[in-house]
Structure 1
Amino acid sequence: KIVARAAADTLSPVVLELGGKSPVVIDENIPEMDVMARRIMWGKTINCGQTCVAPDYVLCHENHFDGFTKSLVKRVEEMFGADLSSPMSPYSRIVTTAHAQRLMDMVVEAEAAG
């Protein structure tokens, strides 16, 4: 709202990306973790994850946590290979070293903040 108001005050054209967070909920009654992992990874990786409906986080019932994480790792390896650092991996990359460093700095800052 603040950005839209500021743009309106100065008559500046603006495009706002208003996509929200997209949670995935895995409750007790999910029978197929492999199907769930495949669907989540498809949604998260389509267009390199740059869609407003890409899953941002998973809320997983504790009874399914181990099975889900195993299925998710399996699916990532099927899609991109076990070595994501390989130049041959089809996994998307950060555009430049400077961008990668900026992201790493954010991780360090977040970890330091708890």
Structure 2
Amino acid sequence: MFTLYIIDTCDTCRKARKALEANSIPFKAHDLRKDGLSATLLEHILERVPLAEAINKRSKTWRDLPQEEKDGLDANSARRLLIEHPTLLKRPLLDMGGDAIKVGYRDGDYDNLSA
């Protein structure tokens, strides 16, 4: 079964969820804000998604960070920030098992998936 990592209030996450449902693809949803982002889960994601691709630099959370935190970002500080602010993680993330996590969603992305 796939896992869709989302933030419930995110429009793109809602579209991704509807696309999976429309294609009858079984999945469980994990809301990063409500269900949390543990260090173990973050490492699971970062083993499959490059750190630079995992951080959502378009988010309000990113824009609200002090400039010195953004300028001094390295692998360790990025992990700390992601744990403290799960909304910094790009989403939706579709964990398809194995080594595959799809980052983001555009219409049609899930049309050819099979569980």
Hey, which of these two has a bigger chunk of strand by percent? Answer: 2
Q: If the length of structure 2 is used for normalisation, what is the TM-score?
A: 0.22
Hey, which of these two has a bigger chunk of helix by percent? Answer: 1
Q: Which has the larger radius of gyration?
A: 1
Q: Which has the higher contact order (CA 8 A, sep 6+)?
A: 2
